[in-house]
């Protein structure tokens, strides 16, 4: 076991967060991917014997929501209630197990935001000023002159858009409150570049470098406008003691991570940062899309520094799911599929598997959504590898007694010894990928192993060897083959638990693996399982045939 895993075993609670999702319209497959990564990360830690905690929720304030409700002819609160329920139900259907669900319209969150505001104001880190710039409602972000460009809209009108998101901006000049973000530049750079170099706080490296270059750019880090006039942007949290101003939606939203950990409960004491550390509110992994990394890697840590609160241990930035190379987004309306329909057709675990598996090239790379790829994976990897190995291991011709046979070590050949060695290397290989949330690569390792074992069984043809009843060497060889296949199936099923919790439960139940033996420390090849009875039945269709397209 590597050091990471050993350290995790010692830690009491591993905290992961997802971004909170805008409620301007229904969730799409990109949102599902974002939350799945976090769920898999938490389940991985539990598989390692560590308690984990996942927080998610919905981002319900701001002009974007206000506008969207207006268009639908309903109140913002009605829209928030409706859409927040949609997200919650999607997470339930997708097997996402969360511990906290923060809605920014909740009273607990409003009091967290207002108490943080008051504290920052008392520290003279928030001041009244005026601000001008290009504001993009869709991104809820101000851009500078350098960050925008001219273009024409669908009707041929000249407009200005953000270079980064391509969405329309408008010029705004207004009085508001500013947060002294510029004061934190050096500390932020030190935080990002310092510490344990082996494990950078921002992953992947390319995104870390991007954030660093933003911080080190000639423009430097400017103070941040953290409120909007209520007249223009009234749907939000009121600035304490100033009803004319509403808290900026990103400042409001980022605080959800503190709300989720119980802020501002009595255990939290802003005067005594030590108390908050004892309360163990440190987040181990903020999982965010690359489009919102700068909010999490610059603004939020600066807020925490200002408040003397513990900084996150890691921020993982993932890529986007695209359609024809374009990010799937609510505003472009290019969502290729209804998630519920997808899950109904392929089953929840196959969808989870596919979305995570798509990142085998690394989570820094965008990937195009493809249902045909999902079908191919379902057939070739899930049905033909995992499902097939199970069918073989419980078939009448290979395992008539439905039990784990004896392992005859003295007749193991070099191929078999190599397979056993490979199986024993699996935990370390997958741990290394899991440490960086590279679960696509993690799955690739597991499925490659399954492929090797299936190939070996196909060549060995134990069903033929079993028929040679008078030949004791053939019998021993056949039992060895069955033993290795069963062990490979057990170990792969253990490893696949974080990604496919339902199917692996079925599998491990079938193999009669007791619940207390489903942890990583049980995932080495064992040679003494002889005699364990499998659950009755020679047939099980783990991955049924798909309907023809």
- 327 or 476, CB closer to ligand MSP? 327
Is residue 59 near ligand MSP by the rule CB under 6 A? yes
Contact between 329 and ligand MSP per CB under 6 A: yes
Q: Least distance to ligand MSP from the beta carbon of 17, Å?
A: 8
71 C-beta neighbours (distance < 10 Å), count:
10
Q: What is the distance between the alpha carbons of residues 406 and 487, in angstroms, rounded to a whole number?
A: 12
Question: CB of residue 194 vs ligand MSP: minimum separation in angstroms?
Answer: 25
Size of the site for ligand MSP (CB under 6 A): 21
- Choose, by CB under 6 A, the member of 42, 192, 253, 356 that binds ligand MSP: 253
C-beta of 121 vs 318, nearer to ligand MSP? 318
Q: Is 32 in the site for ligand MSP (CB under 6 A)?
A: no
Q: Is 328 in the site for ligand MSP (CB under 6 A)?
A: yes
Q: Is residue 533 within 8 Å of residue 402, measured between CB atoms?
A: yes
Residue spans of beta strands (DSSP E) within 60-137: 100-103, 126-136
Dist. CA 153–CA 521, nearest whole Å: 58
Q: Of 443 and 486, which CB lies nearer to ligand MSP in the complex structure?
A: 443
Nearest to 237 by CA among 253, 225, 223, 224: 253
Q: Based on the shown chain and the rule CB under 6 A, indicate whether residue 224 belongs to the binding site for ligand MSP.
A: no
517 by Cβ neighbours in 10 Å (0-12 / 13-18 / 19+) ranks as middle
Cα separation, 39 vs 95, whole angstroms: 8
Count of beta carbons in the 10 Å neighbourhood of residue 3: 10
Applying CB under 6 A, which part among 319-327, 341-349, 457-465, 507-515 lies near ligand MSP? Answer: 319-327
Task: Name the closest residue to ligand MSP (Cβ).
Answer: 289
Q: Among 406, 482, 485, 408, which Cα is nearest to 449's?
A: 485
State yes or no: residue 31 binds ligand MSP (CB under 6 A). yes
- Within positions 254 to 293, which residues make up the interface with ligand MSP, using CB under 6 A? 254, 256, 288-289, 291-292
Q: Is 21 in the site for ligand MSP (CB under 6 A)?
A: yes
373 part of the interface to ligand MSP, by CB under 6 A: no
Q: Please identify, using beta-carbon distances, which residue of 252 and 416 lies nearer to ligand MSP.
A: 252
Write down the number of H helices and E strands in the chain: 21, 19
Minimum distance from CB of 355 to ligand MSP (Å)?
A: 9
Least CB distance from residue 443 to ligand MSP, whole Å? 18
Which residues lie below 8 Å from residue 47, measured CB to CB, with a gap of 6+? 494, 497, 498, 518, 519, 520
Site residues for ligand MSP per CB under 6 A: 19-22, 30-31, 33-34, 59, 253-254, 256, 288-289, 291-292, 320-321, 327-329
């Amino acid at each position: 076991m590597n050091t990471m895993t050993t350290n995790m075993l010692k830690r009491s609670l591993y905290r992961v967060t997802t971004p909170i999702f805008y409620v301007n319209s229904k969730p799409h497959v990109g949102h599902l991917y974002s939350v799945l990564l976090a769920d898999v990360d938490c389940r991985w830690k539990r598989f390692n014997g560590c308690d984990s905690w996942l927080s998610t929720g919905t981002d319900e304030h701001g002009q974007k929501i206000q506008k969207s409700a207006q268009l639908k002819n309903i109140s913002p609160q009605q829209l928030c209630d409706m859409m927040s329920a949609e997200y919650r139900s999607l997470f339930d259907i997708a097997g996402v197990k969360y511990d906290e669900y923060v809605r920014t319209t909740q009273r607990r969150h409003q009091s967290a935001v207002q108490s943080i505001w008051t504290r920052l104001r008392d520290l003279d880190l928030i001041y009244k000023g005026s601000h001008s710039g290009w504001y993009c409602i869709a991104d809820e972000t101000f851009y500078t002159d350098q960050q925008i460009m001219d273009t024409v809209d669908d009707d041929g009108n000249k407009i200005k858009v953000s270079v980064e998101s391509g969405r329309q901006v408008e010029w705004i000049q207004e009085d508001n409150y500013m947060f002294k973000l510029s004061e934190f530049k050096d500390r932020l750079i030190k935080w990002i570049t310092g510490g344990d170099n082996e494990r950078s706080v921002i992953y992947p490296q390319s995104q870390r470098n991007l954030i660093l270059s933003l911080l080190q750019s000639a423009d430097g880090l400017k103070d941040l406008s953290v409120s909007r006039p209520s007249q223009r942007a009234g749907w939000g949290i009121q600035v304490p003691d100033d009803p004319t101003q509403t808290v900026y939606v990103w400042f409001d939203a980022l605080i959800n991570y503190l709300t989720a950990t119980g802020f501002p409960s009595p255990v939290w004491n802003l005067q005594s940062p030590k108390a908050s550390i004892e309360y163990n509110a440190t987040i181990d992994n903020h999982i965010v899309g690359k489009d919102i990394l700068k909010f999490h890697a610059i603004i939020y840590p600066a807020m925490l520094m200002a408040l003397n609160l513990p900084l996150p241990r890691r921020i993982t930035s993932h890529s986007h799911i695209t359609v024809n190379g374009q990010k799937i987004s609510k505003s472009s309306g290019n969502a290729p599929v209804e998630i519920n329909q997808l899950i109904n057709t392929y089953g929840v675990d196959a969808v989870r598997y596919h979305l995570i598996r798509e990142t085998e090239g690394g989570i820094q790379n965008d990937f195009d959504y493809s249902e045909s790829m999902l079908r191919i994976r379902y057939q070739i990897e899930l049905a033909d590898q995992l499902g097939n190995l199970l069918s073989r291991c419980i078939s009448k011709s290979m395992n008539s007694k439905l039990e784990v046979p004896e392992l005859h070590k003295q007749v193991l050949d070099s191929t078999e010894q190599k397979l056993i060695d490979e199986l024993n290397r699996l935990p370390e290989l997958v741990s290394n990928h899991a440490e960086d949330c590279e679960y696509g690569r993690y799955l690739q390792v597991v499925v490659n192993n399954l492929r090797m074992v299936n190939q070996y069984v196909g060549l060995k043809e134990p069903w033929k060897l079993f028929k040679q009843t008078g030949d004791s060497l053939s019998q021993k060889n056949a039992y060895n083959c069955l033993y290795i296949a069963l062990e490979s199936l057990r170990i792969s099923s253990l490893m696949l638990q974080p990604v496919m919790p339902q199917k692996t439960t079925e599998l491990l139940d079938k193999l009669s693996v007791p619940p207390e033996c489903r942890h990583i420390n049980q995932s080495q090849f064992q040679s003494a399982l002889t005699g364990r009875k499998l659950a009755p039945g020679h047939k099980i269709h783990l991955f049924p045939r798909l309907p023809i397209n």
